[in-house]
């Protein structure tokens, strides 16, 4: 191991050799430059497509959020209306049940009166015979 002075600093020889190996310049031909420019244009185009896609996605997400707010409001109104209809339906059914019970009570009362009068008539007829 040895040290070498590089730019007024002492550096290990091994690290200087590694830097020398890595820092070799490469030649770029006109063809490779054209290919690089073409590739960079293709990358630009793809980035623009991704950007447009992200904008479309953003718009769609905003629409969904707006729809969700509108829908939740509409669903709330619908729920209130359905609750009112349900309560009216329950009230109507209860009213019909009360009317049916009163009709049944009236029929039972009439049947009882008829049964009593038939019994009395039969009793009086059977005494007379």
Look at residue 4 and tell me if it is in a domain. Answer: no
- Note the pLDDT of residue 106: 66
Look at residue 38 and tell me if it is in a domain. Answer: yes
> Taking the model in full, what pTM does it have?
0.35
Q: CA-to-CA distance for 93 and 105, rounded, in angstroms?
A: 18
Look at residue 13 and tell me if it is in a domain. Answer: no
Residue 117's domain comprises 32-128
Look at residue 108 and tell me if it is in a domain. Answer: yes
Q: CA-to-CA distance for 79 and 100, rounded, in angstroms?
A: 31
Kindly report, residue by residue over 56-114, the tens digit of the pLDDT: 888 887 877 776 666 777 777 777 888 878 888 787 878 877 777 776 766 666 667 77
Q: Reduce the DSSP state of residue 113 to 3 states and report it.
A: helix
Distance of CA 95 to the CA centre of its chain: 41
If one counts the domains in the chain, the total is 1
Look at residue 16 and tell me if it is in a domain. Answer: no
Look at residue 17 and tell me if it is in a domain. Answer: no
Backbone angles phi, psi at 35, to 5 degrees: -65, -40
Q: CA-to-CA distance for 67 and 72, rounded, in angstroms?
A: 8
Q: Reduce the DSSP state of residue 89 to 3 states and report it.
A: helix
Residue 54's CB is within 10 A of a number of other CB atoms, namely: 10
């Amino acid at each position: 191991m040895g040290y070498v002075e590089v730019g007024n600093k002492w550096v290990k020889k091994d690290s200087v050799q590694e830097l020398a190996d890595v820092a070799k310049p490469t030649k770029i031909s006109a063809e490779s430059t054209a290919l690089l420019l073409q590739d960079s244009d293709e990358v630009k185009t793809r980035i623009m497509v991704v950007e447009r896609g992200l904008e479309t996605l953003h718009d769609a997400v905003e629409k969904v959020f707006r729809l969700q707010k509108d829908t939740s409001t509409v669903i709330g109104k619908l729920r209130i209306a359905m609750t009112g209809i349900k309560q009216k339906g329950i009230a109507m059914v209860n009213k019909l049940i009360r009317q049916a019970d009163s009709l049944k009570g009236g029929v039972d009362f009439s049947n009882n009166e008829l049964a009593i009068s038939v019994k009395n008539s039969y009793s009086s007829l059977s005494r007379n015979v």
